Amino acid sequence: MSTEKTEKKLLSFRGKPLIRCGNTIYYGNTNDRFIVEMQIKSTSDIKKMKVAEKVLVLLVDSAMPKDKNKKIIKMSEKLGLYNALETGIAWLNSAKEFQIQG
């Protein structure tokens, strides 16, 4: 038997990892201060495939201690995963600029 470690490659979009856990998708680097959390609230069936309809987008402060509740900076509901992801990317970019200036 081989004792080699198997590396799992993370799915990424625009250089940041996308991690799915059930109906929640996390976008962003966990080492950064902010990450985006997208909660799929409803889906529809298109050609026998489930597609996200309503998605709750949250910009979350990842610097909070793990035993505390997460701190939500921004929140919005979008139609479709693409719109949710574009909103999350814009929020991460503006939060990064704010963090550099502040």
In a domain, 38, yes or no: yes
4 domain-assigned:
no
Domain of 67, in residue numbers: 12-101
pLDDT tens-digit map of 72-95 = 899 999 999 999 999 999 999 998
**Domains in the chain, number:** 1
Alpha-carbon distance of 35 to 53, in angstroms, equals 21
Q: Contact, 84 vs 55, CB < 8 A?
A: yes
pTM of the predicted model over 0.85: no
Question: pLDDT tens across 38-70, in order?
Answer: 999 999 999 989 999 999 999 998 877 766 778
The answer to whether residue 7 sits within a structural domain is: no
Q: What's the rounded Cα separation, in Å, for the pair 54 and 90?
A: 19
